[in-house]
Amino acid sequence: MAYHLRTCTLEDSALLSLVAGAAFLEAYADVLDAADILHHCRENNSAAAFHKYLEQPSTRCVVAEAEPGRAPIGYMLTCEPDLPLDVGPTDYELRRIYLLHRFQGQGVGRDLIDAAVSAARALGRTRLLLGVYGKNDKAIRFYEAAGFRQVGERYFTVGATTHHDAVMARAV
């Protein structure tokens, strides 16, 4: 499968909202109630939410697009850390990384991780952090293969329910 990665700008907010909502629904349809999914997508995956992220000077976002039409199939977004651990000025967070299921296992996810690592390095950061749903064994294995190790935990509320997440980190 041919795909293309490109850096996002403010003008990509609606496109990111589309792929974020689709990927979130696909990832959690068998975990979350419909009302919680809708609430989360309205609050966190809207074009306005992405616009707010992209306005921040240290935020970096890359979208993966399928060739030949370049429809969005996934993305990664890095930003200043907002995790329940002691973080320092050289820490950076991989806040979002999603890829539609039918495109997984083809190297796209690894390229998105590499883009996050590159973004961290370009900003002079030395540690990349992320939070992942604690029961998402496939994602945890993927992150471990990319060099991440669990360094903490958090509770993450989606709509009306709270879930246990692993907080993972790797050196960059």
Q: What pLDDT was estimated at residue 60?
A: 98
Residue with tokens 């907010």: 13
Please compute the mean of the pLDDT values over residues 107-115 and round it to a whole number: 98
36 lies in some domain: yes
Domain extent, residue 122, equals 3-130
Tens of pLDDT, residues 6-44: 999 999 999 999 999 999 999 989 888 899 999 999 999
Residue 136 domain flag? no
Any domain includes 146: no
Number of domains making up the chain: 1
CATH code, domain carrying 74: 3.40.630.30
Residue 147 falls inside a structural domain: no
Does residue 137 form part of some domain? Answer: no
Return the closest-CA partner of residue 7 out of 128, 112, 120, 97. Answer: 112
| Residue 157 banded pLDDT, cuts 50, 70, 90 | confident
Question: Is it true that the peptide bond before 68 is cis, omega within 30 degrees of 0?
Answer: yes
158 inside domain: no
* Residue 172 belongs to a domain: no
pLDDT per position as a tens digit, 51-100 = 999 999 999 999 999 988 899 999 999 999 999 999 999 999 999 999 99
In a domain, 151, yes or no: no
